[in-house]
């Protein structure tokens, strides 16, 4: 009799364990089936096609000498997908042209946003200390931030000529894509379109 009770308890425990494992596997399968992953289709045209190099190349001295430090990433989710991209360029510039670099990048970004059909919601900052655009396109919204210029990171054996200096510029883009559309709650938090 005692053996039979122990056998029933062991069988009951095994059934409970199997049920919990089945529930855990079903939960994992359901979550995977309802999770969206970063893909080119969930990026705006602006993010897929943006290039910092076209705005920077006219400022590079001697022509063509840049170090490109760019990268991208993303995050999966059940409600939305996140995309990030960093664009960095380090190069030598004529000192008297340094003040023209951020305005050139600003106008280049404005043009690339316009060309890709993005609706600019707001912009902040200034052309000497860096700036940010917030934008929306379809089921996505994002920000593009241009950081202030920084000293270049080049180690040299010989000093640069007096009218040249090393400089770095970094642009950061963050987007969030909502596969089922931007919810009313998220849309309310977005700024009104910029004029």
Of 37, 30, 41, the closest CA to residue 76 belongs to 37
Query: Mean pLDDT across the stretch 113-122?
Result: 93
Q: For residues 128 and 2, what is the distance between their CA atoms, to the nearest angstrom?
A: 85
Count of H-run helices and E-run strands, the chain: 5, 8
CA torsion angle for 106, 109, 115, 116 (degrees, to 10)?
Answer: -150
Sequence-distant (6+) residues with CB within 8 A of 143 are 132, 133, 134, 135, 173, 174
Q: Reply yes or no on whether the pLDDT at 195 is more than 60.
A: no
DSSP one-letter code for 77: B
Model-wide pTM > 0.85: no
* Residue bearing the bigger pLDDT, 15 or 75: 75
Average pLDDT of the chain is 83
Residues 29-63: pLDDT tens digits? 555 556 888 888 999 999 999 999 989 999 998 76
- Residue 107: CA count within 13 A, CB half-sphere: 6
What residue spans define the domains of the chain? 1-34, 40-189
């Amino acid at each position: 009799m005692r053996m039979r009770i122990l056998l029933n308890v062991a069988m009951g425990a095994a059934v409970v364990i199997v049920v919990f494992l089945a529930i855990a596997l079903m939960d994992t399968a359901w979550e995977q089936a309802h999770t969206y992953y970063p893909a080119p289709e969930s990026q705006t045209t602006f993010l897929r096609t943006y290039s910092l190099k076209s705005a920077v190349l006219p400022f590079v001295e001697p022509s063509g000498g840049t170090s490109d430090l760019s990268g991208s990433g993303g995050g999966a989710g059940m409600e939305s997908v996140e995309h990030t991209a960093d664009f960095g360029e380090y190069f030598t510039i004529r000192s008297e042209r340094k003040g023209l670099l951020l305005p050139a990048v600003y106008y280049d970004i404005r043009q690339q946003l316009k060309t890709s059909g993005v609706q600019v919601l707001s912009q902040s900052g200034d052309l000497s200390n860096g700036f940010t655009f917030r934008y929306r396109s379809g089921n996505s919204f994002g920000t593009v931030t241009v950081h202030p210029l920084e000293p270049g990171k080049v180690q040299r054996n010989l000093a640069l000529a007096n009218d040249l200096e090393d400089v770095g510029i970094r642009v950061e883009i963050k987007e969030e894509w909502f596969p089922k559309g931007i919810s009313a709650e998220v849309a309310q938090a977005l700024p009104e379109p910029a004029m």
